A and B are shown apart, each in its own frame.
Chain A
Amino acid sequence: MIYVPGLFIALIALWLALSGHGEAFMVGLAVVSVILSILLTMCLGLMGREASPYHRLVPMARYAVWLMGEIVKSNVAVLRTIIEPSARLRPRLAALDADGRSELATALFANSITLTPGTVTIEAARDGLLVHSLHDGADEQDEFAPMAARSLMAADGRG
């Protein structure tokens, strides 16, 4: 139940940002719609930390800025591989450890890996990830260590 207020605020903010109609009738409709959406979410059994992670918005935003930098770097790297005719692929599978993370942190880590071109999460579970990468780096655990630590910090608030 503690996640309901966060979801309520987030959905209302989303509605107002999209709508731009500030008259009382429309705001009333917004409140009714948000309540109905939340009721439907609860009815489907989805209410919880993952449906309403909005209390972690600030650390997530900070993480997103860092992630954008990584995405730009790996975009350039993959673009090079595509354009250079001589470039050779060295695809590799890596099993990463993701023990002791919440479901949210695991999903954030896995999605960050997939979002950066050149690496994609093939399988994700609570205890580990299976990652396919375009180029084999030095050591698989070290290569992803900064992303693992930062995503854990952003989602769970610990390093």
Chain B
Amino acid sequence: MSLLLASPELELVFSALLLTLVAGLVVALLAARSVLTCILLMSAFSLTMALWLMTMDAPDVAFTEASVGAGVSTMILLGAALSSTDVIPSLRPGRLWFPAVACLAAFIGMALIVPDLPVFGDPGSPPSAYVGRLYLEQTPHDIGAPNVVTAVLASYRGFDTLGETTVIFAAGVGVLLLLGGQVRSPDAAPEDVSLRASAGSPVLSVAARLLIPIICLYAFYVLAHGEFGAGGGFQAGVILAAALILHALVFGVRETMKALPVGVVRACAALGVLGYAAVGFLAILNGGRFLDYDALLSPVFEAGLPSSHLAGGHHHWGQRIGILAIETGVMLAVASTMTAIFYAFTGRVSRSDAAGAS
């Protein structure tokens, strides 16, 4: 039974079906003339891509795609589309020949490269032969985390991930600067971005009250279990931001801004990145190198800890705690940046409203 479902032929059929669906969605996107339709189709596109990534045995990437692509970015785009004007803008086709030629050229270029790519899962291909194989072989000894993706992301290449987190923070700062970055008092915030038609409905408020604590807990769960399976700081941060955006959609963004002021959220975004870097400096202070988690705990202290069931070696507690600490920093930075961007989009309305009123 399970063998039948895991057969490579069936996987191939499933992959082919999903990719056909992706192609269909792209055609639908090209034909769509309403911004709302485009946003929803892009969400469906992301979800289909996530499913396809699952068939490629990449659950970490699939989880990120589902939570970021299909989840939070859809919410932010919808919030932006609904709050920028009262009329949902529709798209008019412009001149097509230049984009068409550019796309065709890019397509031919990529099609020419395809034969040179290694076969999917080829153990002899350059990415899986040298450093990739080293990671797979050394992780149980060096890090002790069952999920090699997390070991590579958070520990072996922790410096790269610090860069990525900083990029997200910088992108958030860029959006805030573009949209006007000044902190507003909560009273200046508009009520606009809530589900206006159903505002005050007990169905939605009860659902939100029931679900938000659970979504928050799930975010922390994903953070804590990145060591074992798919998950980690990026996904956790996005899920936490989704809980806050849900609150804003149901109760009005004004209420959310009262509970979590704009300034606090922005400070938390910076705090996340700083906390990540601080873990690195802590390792230096203890005599190690930057982001060398083995130096976080003193050997005497670590000897007193119970041996972790994951750990084969002697120094894995430092790695565990270091990974958890930097992932927490990532979560804080991502969640705050997403929320700050959402605040900035919804805060735009007040200015256009004010201009209209005066």
Cβ–Cβ contact B212 & A51, under 8 A:
yes
Cβ of A11 to closest chain B Cβ, rounded Å: 5
Query: Of B203, B220, B247, B306, which is within 8 A of A44 by CB?
Result: B247
Q: Identify which of residues 89-138 in chain A touch chain B, using a CB-to-CB cut-off of 8 Å.
A: 103-104, 106-107, 110-111, 114, 121, 123-126
Closest 3 pairs (CB-CB, A-B): A33-B220, A107-B206, A50-B209
Residues of A within 8 A of B255 (CB): 44-45
**How far is B228's CA from A125's CA once the two chains are assembled, in angstroms?**
45
Q: Identify which of residues 3-50 in chain A touch chain B, using a CB-to-CB cut-off of 8 Å.
A: 7, 11, 14-15, 18-19, 21, 23-26, 29-30, 32-34, 36-38, 40-41, 43-46, 48, 50
Is B216 close to A, CB under 8 A? yes
Cβ–Cβ contact B216 & A41, under 8 A:
yes
**How far is B214's CA from A37's CA once the two chains are assembled, in angstroms?**
8
**How far is B243's CA from A48's CA once the two chains are assembled, in angstroms?**
17
Cβ–Cβ contact B201 & A125, under 8 A:
yes
Residues of B within 8 A of A41 (CB): 212-213, 216
Cβ–Cβ contact B247 & A33, under 8 A:
no
A-B contact pairs, 16 of them (CB 8 A): A18-B221, A33-B220, A33-B221, A33-B223, A33-B224, A36-B220, A37-B213, A40-B213, A40-B216, A41-B216, A44-B259, A45-B255, A46-B208, A46-B247, A52-B213, A103-B206
Cβ–Cβ contact A33 & B202, under 8 A:
no
Query: From B216, which residue of chain A is reached at the shortest CB distance?
Result: A37
Cβ–Cβ contact A124 & B306, under 8 A:
no
* Known contacts A23-B309, A44-B259; is-contact A15 B217 (Cβ 8 Å): yes
Is A53 close to B, CB under 8 A? yes
Is B314 close to A, CB under 8 A? no
Q: Mark B303-335, 1 if CB is under 8 A from A, else 0.
A: 000101100000000001000100000000000
* Known contacts A44-B259, A50-B210, A51-B212; is-contact A34 B217 (Cβ 8 Å): yes
**How far is B212's CA from A43's CA once the two chains are assembled, in angstroms?**
12
Query: From A53, which residue of chain B is reached at the shortest CB distance?
Result: B210
Residues of B within 8 A of A29 (CB): 220, 224, 324
Cβ–Cβ contact B212 & A124, under 8 A:
no
Q: A103-B202, A107-B205 are in contact. List 5 more A-B contacts (CB 8 A).
A: A40-B213, A43-B259, A46-B247, A50-B210, A111-B207
Cβ–Cβ contact B206 & A104, under 8 A:
yes
**How far is B260's CA from A45's CA once the two chains are assembled, in angstroms?**
11
Query: From A155, which residue of chain B is reached at the shortest CB distance?
Result: B206
Query: From A108, which residue of chain B is reached at the shortest CB distance?
Result: B206
Cβ–Cβ contact B259 & A45, under 8 A:
yes
Chain A's interface size range is 35 or more
Cβ–Cβ contact B202 & A37, under 8 A:
no
**Total number of B residues with any Cβ neighbor in A under 8 Å:** 34
Residues of A within 8 A of B210 (CB): 50-51, 53
Query: Of A21, A30, A48, A106, which is within 8 A of B228 by CB?
Result: A21
**How far is B213's CA from A36's CA once the two chains are assembled, in angstroms?**
10
Residues of A within 8 A of B320 (CB): 25
Cβ of B199 to closest chain A Cβ, rounded Å: 11
Cβ–Cβ contact A11 & B214, under 8 A:
yes
Query: Of A21, A24, A107, which is within 8 A of B202 by CB?
Result: A107
**How far is B130's CA from A107's CA once the two chains are assembled, in angstroms?**
58
Query: Of B198, B223, B228, B308, which is within 8 A of A25 by CB?
Result: B308
Cβ–Cβ contact B247 & A124, under 8 A:
no
Is B256 close to A, CB under 8 A? yes
Residues of B within 8 A of A19 (CB): 221, 225
Determine which residue in B213, B220, B221, B243 has the highest number of CB atoms from chain A within 10 A of its CB, and name it.
B213
Is B124 close to A, CB under 8 A? no
Is B200 close to A, CB under 8 A? yes
Cβ of A143 to closest chain B Cβ, rounded Å: 20
**How far is B145's CA from A25's CA once the two chains are assembled, in angstroms?**
14
Cβ of A123 to closest chain B Cβ, rounded Å: 7
Cβ–Cβ contact B308 & A23, under 8 A:
yes
Cβ–Cβ contact B256 & A44, under 8 A:
yes
Cβ–Cβ contact B213 & A7, under 8 A:
yes
Residues of B within 8 A of A106 (CB): 202-203, 206
Query: From B207, which residue of chain A is reached at the shortest CB distance?
Result: A107
Residues of B within 8 A of A124 (CB): 201-203
Query: From B306, which residue of chain A is reached at the shortest CB distance?
Result: A24
**How far is B198's CA from A8's CA once the two chains are assembled, in angstroms?**
30
Cβ of B227 to closest chain A Cβ, rounded Å: 9
Determine which residue in B200, B207, B216 has the highest number of CB atoms from chain A within 10 A of its CB, and name it.
B216
